[in-house]
């Protein structure tokens, strides 16, 4: 019965000697070619990382410039708004000036909002 359970004649050997089932080690040439491939991929990835870091630095600089322009537009608007409030107070007119600095701070194009606000303010 025991011999009938075997699939082939080497089953006894695989049960008693499990190390014999291990695959052959990778040859020197295969290891060398794998190492060269990995090194080439490493170099490519390092170059890609450097490019991405440079691009991120440029994007950050553009963001800072846009933020500075935005803040200066808000400051200009608030200065102009204060001029109109002071001029209207001096002339004796009590007017309500809408506070749109919140919308300016949320706006992506502060210059456009500023010009619209000034035009709507100056028109009768």
Structure confidence by residue, pLDDT tens digits, 13-38: 666 666 656 678 889 999 999 999 99
Tokens (6 digits) for 86: 């002071």
For residue 88, give its domain range: 27-122
Residue 42 and residue 82 in contact, taking contact as beta carbons nearer than 8 Å = no
The verdict on residue 61 lying in a domain is yes
CA angle 40, 34, 53 (to 5 degrees): 30
Q: Provide the domain count of the chain.
A: 1
**Does 2 reside within a domain?**
no
Per the domain annotation, does 21 fall within a domain? no
The answer to whether residue 63 sits within a structural domain is yes
Does residue 18 belong to any structural domain of this protein?
A: no
pTM above 0.85, yes or no: no
pLDDT mean over 66-89: 89
* Cβ 121 vs Cβ 77: under 8 Å: no
Alpha-carbon distance of 92 to 83, in angstroms, equals: 14
In this predicted structure, the answer to whether residue 57 has a pLDDT above a threshold of 50 is yes
| pLDDT value, residue 27 | 92
> Is 53 inside any structural domain?
yes
């Amino acid at each position: 019965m025991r011999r009938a359970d075997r699939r082939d004649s080497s089953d006894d050997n695989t049960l008693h000697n499990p190390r014999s089932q291990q695959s052959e080690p990778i040859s020197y040439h295969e290891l060398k070619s794998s190492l060269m491939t990995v090194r080439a991929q490493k170099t490519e990835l390092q170059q890609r990382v450097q490019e991405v870091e440079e691009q991120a630095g440029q994007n950050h600089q553009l963001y800072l410039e846009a933020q500075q322009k935005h803040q200066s537009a808000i400051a200009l608007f608030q200065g102009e708004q204060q001029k109109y409030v002071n001029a209207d107070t001096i002339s004796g007119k009590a007017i309500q000036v809408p506070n749109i600095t919140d919308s300016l701070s949320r706006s992506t194009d502060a210059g456009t909002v500023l010009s619209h606000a000034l035009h709507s303010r100056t028109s009768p």
